[in-house]
Amino acid sequence: MKLIAKQDFSWAHRGVEIEEFKKGQEIDTEDQDLIKVSTDEGWAAKPRKGGSQAPAAGDGGTPAGGDGETPPGPAGATPVEGDTDPT
C-alpha cells in the first residue's frame, strides 16, 4: 500500500528496525501495523485518486478557524487586542 507522510516520523518495524520518514515522502509498505498506526495517528495518509496527496493542516485543507491558528470570524476582520468576547 502507498502512503504519503504528513509529517516527519520514525517507525520501528517489528519493534527493532527503525526507519525515518520525512513529510511528503511516499511510503510503499505492506506493514499492516505501520499502515494502521500512521493513518490513525495522522502521521500519514493514503494518496488521493489521481496521485495528489491529501492537504495537510494549514495547507488550505482546513477551514478558517478550525486549524487552531486562524481566528474565526469574517474574512479580513482584525481582532482587537484584549477583546475576548467572541460575539
pLDDT score for 53: 46
Q: CA–CA separation, 38 vs 35, rounded Å?
A: 6
pLDDT score for 40: 96
Count structural domains, the chain: 1
Query: Is residue 34 in some structural domain?
Result: yes
Question: H or E stretch including 85?
Answer: none
Tell me the CA distances in angstroms from 79 to 58, 63, 72, 85, one per residue in order.
20, 18, 10, 10
pLDDT score for 77: 55
Closest by CA position to 8, among listed 20, 26, 19? 20
Tens of pLDDT along the chain (87 residues) come to 999 999 999 999 888 999 999 999 999 999 999 999 999 999 999 988 765 444 444 444 444 444 455 555 555 555 555 656 556
Query: Is residue 33 in some structural domain?
Result: yes
Q: CA–CA separation, 67 vs 26, rounded Å?
A: 24
pLDDT score for 49: 75
Query: Is residue 81 in some structural domain?
Result: no
Query: Is residue 20 in some structural domain?
Result: yes
Q: Could you list the residue range(s) of the whole structural domain that residue 30 is in?
A: 2-45
Query: Is residue 23 in some structural domain?
Result: yes
pTM above 0.75, yes or no: no
